[in-house]
Structure 1
Amino acid sequence: MCPFHVKKSKKVAAAYVAAVLCMASFGVFAATEHWNDASLTPQVTTRTTVSENTDWQQWKDNWDAIKTNYEQVSIAPGADASQLNFGWYSKEKADRAQVRIADNQAMKHAVTFDGSCQDGTVISGVPYYTNKVTVKDLKPETTYWYQVRLNGKWQEAHQIKTGNPDDFTIMYVGDPQIGASSGQIPSEGTAKQNGDIAARNDSYNWAKTLNYALAQHPEINFLVSPGDQINEPAEDQSAAKIQMQEYQYAGYLSPAALRSLPAATSIGNHDCMTSGYQNHFNVPNPFTEETNSTKAGYGYYYTYGSALFIVINANNYNAADHQALIEKAIKAHPDTKWRIVVMHQDIYGSGKDHSDSDGILLRTQLTPIFDANKIDVVLQGHDHTYARTYQLSSDGKDHATFDQFKVAGQCGQKHNLLDAALKNQEFKNNYVSQNMCYTIADMSQGVLRNPKGVFYMSSNSATGSKFYELIPQQQDYIAARSQTWRPTYSVIRITNNSFTINTYDAETGTPIDSSYSIIKD
């Protein structure tokens, strides 16, 4: 095993290249045995009252109804803070999808917004249609009630509150990956969990994390997920695989908290192989110009106050697509104070399974693109560990792009070509060397004022469905990292001149790291 050492230098030294080669010698790692068993932590609090199935036994008793409720609604931020996007399945195809919204629970003087209802998918032989509606002209810091028209009937009214665009808070979570605990043995039995039982376990823990976080931080306005909402990629497109994928989406969307919490999701490598993701989620400004898009859809962008969020589909290995999306978003919103990229693969992470293999495949190309477009922050997932970097910049040199592994349609899930190549020591040496393509621009901690470089964050699992170990040696670009084997979440507060992130243990609300802030004068 390589000796532990943290090298803190502004330039990447030859000695550090050797150290990373030592890390890379561990190769590509399989699924971990680390996970959280829902049956051992059966108690949950909610945002307001105990109004959903928060008891573990109740959850188990109701799981068959939960997992087959494919028609649950997803809410996403709209193109700006005055809009919300709704998406849902229906069994009936309507001429138009509809959502109505009012400032009172009785829905008096409600305004109705129309959208599209199109063919979606077939689940267990039953066709489902995908509905999408955008609600506009919402006022800041206002309480609303909304209703969705499902199969010809208006559903129950739910409350939702808009935030203050000049001072808002988001919840940033990593890889819910409902169903990833498949194969684990729960305390309640001796047999390994199948996909169904794993989805039940992970969905319960997902609800628990949301409820804990919102109870501890009621100021949260919306959620950001860097991908892998579910575990089943449904690569073979069989009816059984599609059904399992939809069980997992139903579990992901089941928490009552999501009826009032918009979620800006990303396409993860486990989401990207079918149209399920884009059927369920109605993202704003989809980048339909993406030349190598996946079946799940496209990257997209939106604004909220002074922040521009650009969500790239990193399962598409064509960096030119991501550059085009970033440039389009900035051209549409040139004056936003904050430019934040959200992506699944962690090009700067510290987990064993991806941070020195497929996770960094786009590093040599994306780093200079982020620099050129003055990106402030990149929020990542994929590695199921917590890590935050120093402020990083490109080293300004030309590096290999490894285009031979960027096969169109691979969707980031089938990185077997790269895995095989990394078994060759000569290739591995070159791969690692070329990915030393960065400079540490600022090593300050705490509160930074007008720093150079880009800040990268990798989030740990929000559900505990699967955890990875940290690599044995901490990279020199990593300022702090953690693996507690417990779900965590981050709270990000953004004002016109500040970005602050804190990360917490989901159950206790205890910080797992010190606060990090960027101030722009």
Structure 2
Amino acid sequence: MPRAPRLLLAALFALPLTAGAHDAFGPGIHTLEPNTLVPAGDLRYAPAARPDRIVASPSADPAYGFQVSWRTATGVDAPRLELVVAGDAPAVGEPRRLAARSTVFTTENGVGSQHQVAVDGLEPDTLYAFRVQGGNGWWSPWRQLRTAAAPGTPLEFLYFGDTQNKNASHGSRVLLEALRHAPRARLAVFAGDLVSGGDGEDDNEWGEWADIVAPVAATMLVAPVTGNHEYFEEFEDTPQERRVLGPHWRHMFALPDNGAAGTERTTYWFDMHDARFVVLDGTSALDLGTAAAQAAWLDGVLAGNPRVWSIVVVHQPMYSPREGRDNALLREHLMPVLERHSVDLVLQGHDHTYGRRAGDDGAATPQYVVSVAGAKQYRLSQEARDTMAPVGEDTQLLQVVRIDGDTLRYEARTVTGRLYDAFSLVGDGRGARRLVEHTEGRIEPRDCGRDATLKGRADRCWE
């Protein structure tokens, strides 16, 4: 880029002109951003009478119901959810009214109330509109989503790796781009580390996460997974140190009550169309001694699967593509169950790179995938380069999965919409799968183009 336009861009965006990294503005223009856009001391995310952070999540059978969580300030009397079958006219008719259960929740932004409602008794494959109540006459806008359909109906869903860092400034692009490529999606799966946490502004981070997810959450169910950043260290640097689930998790999400013993709040399963989805808690398995209990529970959930496809989501990978990481305990306890039941997809996060591979036996399933949606980007290990394909660094990604009969098609796309990875799993009608790679249109694998981060860390590409 000529010198004059570069100077003009620097003036417009108030960015320093320094040598080194390559980014969206061209060679040498970069800046270190804060983790949130909220200025210090600003109460942008203080609880208010207006309802916010509205998230609908699956029930165990989302053909007949779902669960909704939202937040307000305290003092909201008898908050409720209103529900109607969506119609073509603005006259919605007489709604069904459901009372919420409420809890008071204190954060850095003040004291608020979190409200949750279990919606049941619905009809399959039906478009419903709902809204939730706040205080002082406030209601949310009407939003609508379609209940799950019967087996045999095609299903489209989204999968995101870690959002975690700089959600508002960078993660928002990924969520919006995903909607362009999955206009009929009924589900969005987030593979853990939704926020970073631990920096004194956890509530701001959850507020920004809810904001960027809002366009997705307004039209489909959200299935979250706990990552290590959803936990914090209690009694840090003492013999009693242990992982404790952060308080936001149980307030932000209303989830199925069918999890493994010891991880009832963070493991669950549900069925949609032709697939059974199972959510695991890798942090609890690794750090809190629940790996064996989760494996036994997973074995039972998969053994009783009446659906054609099985998809397991866990934050920490079975095969880690980042240098220096090895989750051997997960491979010891969980991987034998995944392999024995020939799980189709194992969707993972944690390592802030991209990598895909089959198991050690080379069978088509499971396909183990690691991806990242957010701004933090790590570097690949040499082992990952040798055993995974494709792999990628320095790339924000989204994934679209479509299941139609005996075919599951997977696509990973960059934040700008370019195709990065694509394959299909094709069934033979007897439970076996054949892997078909789709290479046409894929861009070349991406590597990190800088020697260190803006903070000088050589083990990462971006903070």
* Residue matched to 1:320: 292
Deviations 1:51-84 (A, max 9, x none): xxxxxxxx889x9575446842122122223222
Q: For 1:152 and 1:99, locate their aligned partners in 2 and report how far apart those are by CA, in whole Å.
A: 16
Unaligned runs of 5+ in 1: 1-32, 41-58, 181-198, 235-240, 393-438, 443-450
Could you tell me whether the CA contact under 8 Å between 1:173 and 1:224 is conserved in 2? Answer: yes
Asked if structure 2 preserves the Cα contact closer than 8 Å seen for 1:502 and 1:515, the reply is yes
Query: TM (normalized to structure 2)?
Result: 0.72
**After superposition, what is the alpha-carbon deviation per residue over 1:369-420, rounded to whole angstroms, capped at 9, x for unaligned?**
2233442221100011111112x2xxxxxxxxxxxxxxxxxxxxxxxxxxxx
Q: 2:276 aligns with which of 305, 308, 329?
A: 308
* Separation of aligned partners in 1, 2:194 and 2:378: 17
Task: Choose which of 339, 344, 348 in structure 1 pairs with 2:310.
Answer: 339
The match for 2:131 is: 147
Alignment partner of 1:170 is 2:157: yes
For 1:389-468, list aligned pairs within 5 A.
389-390=357-358, 392=359, 439-442=360-363, 451=364, 453-459=365-371, 461-463=372-374, 465-468=375-378
Per the normalisation by structure 1, the TM-score is 0.64
Match of 1:133 among 109, 114, 117: 117
Question: Does the Cα contact within 8 Å between 1:115 and 1:133 map onto a contact in 2?
Answer: yes
Q: Supply the distance in 1 between the matched residues of 2:283 and 2:221 (Cα, whole angstroms).
A: 24
Deviation of 1:164 after TM superposition, in Å, equals: 4.5
* 2:190–2:224 Cα contact (<8 Å) kept: yes
Partner residue in 2 for 1:329: 301
Q: Secondary structure at the match of 1:515?
A: strand
Q: Which amino acid aligns with 1:307?
A: A
Distance 1:325 1:39 in 2: 50
Counterpart amino acid of residue 284 in structure 2? N
Match of residue 355 from structure 2: 387
Aligned pair partner of 1:219 in 184, 193, 210: 184
In angstroms, what is the RMSD of aligned CA positions? 3.1
Give the AA of the match of 1:478.
M
Query: Per the alignment, do residues 124 and 65 of structure 1 end up closer, same or farther by CA in structure 2, a change over 3 Å counting?
Result: closer
Corresponding residue to 1:486 among 374, 380, 395 = 395
Please tell me whether the aligned partners of residues 67 and 248 of structure 1 are also in contact (alpha carbons under 8 angstroms).
no
Higher relative contact order (CA 8 A, sep 6+): 1
Give distance in 2, aligned partners of 1:302 and 1:35.
43
Q: Rate the CA distance shift 1:38–1:282 in 2: closer, same or farther, 3 A.
A: farther
Count of aligned positions: 371
Cα displacement string for residues 237-280 of structure 1 (whole angstroms, at most 9, x for unaligned residues): xxxx2xx1110000000134032232111001001231211110
In structure 2, give the amino acid aligned to 1:91: A
- Which residue in 2 is equivalent to 1:259? 218
Q: Distance in 2 between matches of 1:215 and 1:64?
A: 33
More strand by share: 2
Contact 2:43–2:109 (CA under 8 A) maintained in structure 1 = no
Please say if 1:275 is aligned against 2:236.
no
* 1:44-59 map, 5 Å: none
CA distance in 2, matches of 1:69, 1:375: 42
Relative to structure 1, is the Cα distance of residues 65 and 122 closer, same or farther in structure 2, using a 3 angstrom cutoff?
closer
Cα distance in 1 for partners of 2:21, 2:310 equals 35
| SS of aligned partner of 1:263 | strand
* Change in 2 beyond 3 A, CA 1:34/1:145: farther
| CA distance in 2: counterparts of 1:157 and 1:39, whole angstroms | 40
Within the candidate set 62, 83, 94, 1:81 is matched to 62
- Other structure's SS at 1:316 match: helix
- SS, match of residue 514 in structure 1: strand
Name structure 2 gaps, 5 residues minimum: 1-19, 28-36, 233-245, 430-463
- Aligned-pair identity in percent equals 21
Quick one: structure 1 residues 148 and 376, their matched pair in 2 at CA, closer, same or farther if it must change by over 3 Å?
same
Cα distance in 2, alignment partners of residues 38 and 247 from structure 1:
28
Q: Secondary structure at the match of 1:215?
A: helix
> 3-state SS of the aligned residue for 1:129?
strand
Q: Quick check: 2:295–2:333 contact (8 Å CA) kept in 1? A: no
Match of 2:322? 351
Distance (whole Å) between structure 1 residues aligned to residue 250 and residue 222 of structure 2: 14
